[in-house]
Amino acid sequence: MENRTLIGGQWGDEGKGKVIDALGEGFDWVIRYQGGANAGHTIQIGASEHVVHLIPSGVFREGVRNYLGGGMVIDPWALRDEILELEATGHTVRDRLYISSTAALLMPYHKRFDELYEEQRKRRSIGTTGRGIGPAYQDKLRRTGLRVGDLALPLEKLERIAIEHILEANELLSSLFDAEPLPAKVLAEELVTLAQTLRPMIADGFTVLRGVREGTQSALFEGAQGTLLDIDHGTYPYVTSSNCTVGGALTGTGLPPRCLGDIVGVFKAYCTRVGNGPFPTELLAEEGEHLRELGGEYGATTGRPRRCGWFDLVAARYAVGINGLNGVVITKLDVLDTLPAIQVAEAYDLDGERLVDFPVRLDASQRARPVYKDLPGWEKPTGKARKLSDLPAGARKYLEYLERSLGVLIVGISVGKTRDQMILTPTGVTT
């Protein structure tokens, strides 16, 4: 079976959880490789909706092994809660969850710093999820952070090291922010208890992923967030702190490039963004609110209303190029069903100059104005379509236009929340 890497093509929230779940059947492994509990992957199975933040969406497929890669930042408190919640809804987790010993450990003080840095930035705040992601990666890069592998240390040593780290953080909380200290002993004891729960799942990636490396086991790589939130290639500084683009799958797992298989980008049929930062096709006021209501666009992790706007070909072509996408899945097509007219940005206007490449400089991406193409809506429901020919002609034309403009085959279309509301189009949508 050919491996696959699924990557968010926009600003996250493209519906990757649903696509990974729909395409996840038959893979030996589903692997996450970057980010942490800032992600919120929603999967609808029958009448029940599940959201996972750290655990790969493969957990909803029996028998699939799930791996948390070394490129991630793992909050052990959040991970324990997620395991318990999944078990409470009847899913087996522990015997098929593997956590890389090299992943960074996200501690309660990282969350506190996240909040305080955001407050300090005031109107230039990033609008983070508040899950401590930036500060945890900061400690990783400063080479001072704890790692998942430390949870396997003798418990007394772990407690001692944890107390040292929390006390150091307390000093910074006090000197930088005049903030209250965190209870070092209590948190260190909690961490010791968590370590005992998580230890059996800690794994050495080089060993457990041998089958993937040698090609005897198949893997689906589950990206979190999206291309434009990438720390290096996104709309910096309004980004997350990891590599959400394809390179993250390599550094975040230690697997070689040949293991990635097909690189598939997931795009919504329109655009959304949570948090602050450039969003050239954003619709403001009523138009934006209308799309938000139609799409139920509220953050899966924080519940925040998402900013909404039209599909942006300039940004999407950037994602195609940066990630080397060789397939695209379009999600939430059904959200556009009732609209009489649709717009798509084909280029930007920057101070009177026409741009076709996404401007990565912040000031340029903030000032760029979309140049739209107008397309008719189809004004018919698509939720029951299970093959391309079931779709209204207008919806097919929209997809053909996107496929042509992106220069990459659309290999799947999602027309609703449930697993079966998916049209697979391995040979594309242009007939």
Catalytic residues: 13, 41
Please state whether 64 falls in left (phi above 0), alpha (psi between -120 and 50) or beta: beta
Angle between helices 184-198 and 155-177 (to 10 degrees): 140
Q: What value does the CA radius of gyration of the chain take, rounded to a whole number of Å?
A: 22
Question: Which residue of 39, 104, 188, 212 would you call a contact of ligand IMP, by CB under 6 A?
Answer: 39
Is 64 in contact with 212 (CB distance < 8 Å)?
no
Segment interacting with ligand IMP (CB under 6 A) among 187-195, 201-209, 221-229, 341-349? 221-229
User: Which residues ranging from 376 to 395 are in contact with ligand IMP (CB under 6 A)?
Assistant: none
Q: Which is nearer to ligand IMP, 231 or 388 (CB)?
A: 231
Closest CA to 46 of 71, 68, 21, 26: 21
The one-character DSSP state at 55 is: S
Specify the residue, 102 or 241, whose C-beta has the smaller distance to ligand IMP: 241
Question: What burial letters (b/e) apply to 22-47, b meaning 16+ CB within 10 Å?
Answer: bbbeebbbbbbbbbbbbbbbbbbeee
Q: Count of residues binding ligand IMP (CB under 6 A)?
A: 19
Provide the 3-class DSSP secondary structure of residue 395. helix
- Residues between 151 and 170 with contacts to ligand IMP, criterion CB under 6 A: none
Q: How far is the CB of 156 from ligand IMP (least distance, A)?
A: 33
Query: 220 near 33, Cβ under 8 Å?
Result: no
Nearer to ligand IMP, 5 or 128 (CB): 128
State which amino acid sits at residue 73. Answer: V
* Contact range with ligand IMP by CB under 6 A, out of 20-28, 125-133, 263-271, 416-424: 125-133
Using CB under 6 A, which of the segments 18-26, 101-109, 130-138, 416-424 binds ligand IMP?
A: 130-138
Q: Which of 50, 96, 112, 131 binds ligand IMP (CB under 6 A)?
A: 131
* DSSP, res 319: H
Residue choice 31, 72, 83, 274 for contact with ligand IMP (CB under 6 A): 274
Quick one: which of 133, 201, 220, 345 contacts ligand IMP (CB under 6 A)? 133
In sign, the C-alpha dihedral spanning 169, 174, 180, 185 is: positive
Contact 230, 8 (CB under 8 A): no
Neighbours of 404 (CB within 10 A): 12
With CA atoms as reference, report the closest residue to 319 among 2, 31, 8.
8
- Window of 63-71, 122-130, 160-168, 200-208 that interacts with ligand IMP by CB under 6 A: 122-130
Residue closest to ligand IMP, measured at CB? 275
Which of 34, 57, 225, 253: binder of ligand IMP (CB under 6 A)?
A: 225
Q: Does 54 bind ligand IMP (CB under 6 A)?
A: no
d(CA 396, CA 285): 29
Q: Residue 31 or residue 229: which is nearer to ligand IMP going by CB?
A: 229
Q: In the set 57, 240, 331, 382, which binds ligand IMP (CB under 6 A)?
A: 240
Asked whether the beta carbons of 349 and 384 are under 8 A apart, the reply is: no
Regarding 74 and contact with ligand IMP (CB under 6 A), the answer is no
- Given the complex with ligand IMP, which of 75 and 337 has the nearer CB atom? 75
Query: 67 or 113: whose CB is closer to ligand IMP?
Result: 113
Query: Does residue number 40 form part of the binding site for ligand IMP (CB under 6 A)?
Result: yes
Long-range contacts of 151-160 (CB under 8 A, 24+ apart): 151/76, 151/105, 151/191, 151/194, 151/195, 151/198, 151/199, 151/202, 152/101, 152/195, 152/199, 152/202, 155/192, 155/195, 155/196, 158/188, 158/191, 158/192, 158/195, 159/188, 159/189, 159/191, 159/192
Q: Which is nearer to ligand IMP, 53 or 396 (CB)?
A: 53
Pick the binder of ligand IMP from 3, 57, 66, 129 (CB under 6 A): 129
Does 126 sit near ligand IMP (CB under 6 A)? yes
- Which residues in the 101-120 window bind ligand IMP by CB under 6 A? none
- 134 contributes a contact to ligand IMP by CB under 6 A: yes
Q: Does 12 contact ligand IMP by CB under 6 A?
A: yes
Smallest distance, ligand IMP to C-beta of residue 50, A: 15
DSSP letter at 305 equals: B
| Residues in touch with ligand IMP (CB under 6 A) | 12-13, 38-40, 126-129, 131, 133-134, 224-225, 229, 240-241, 274-275
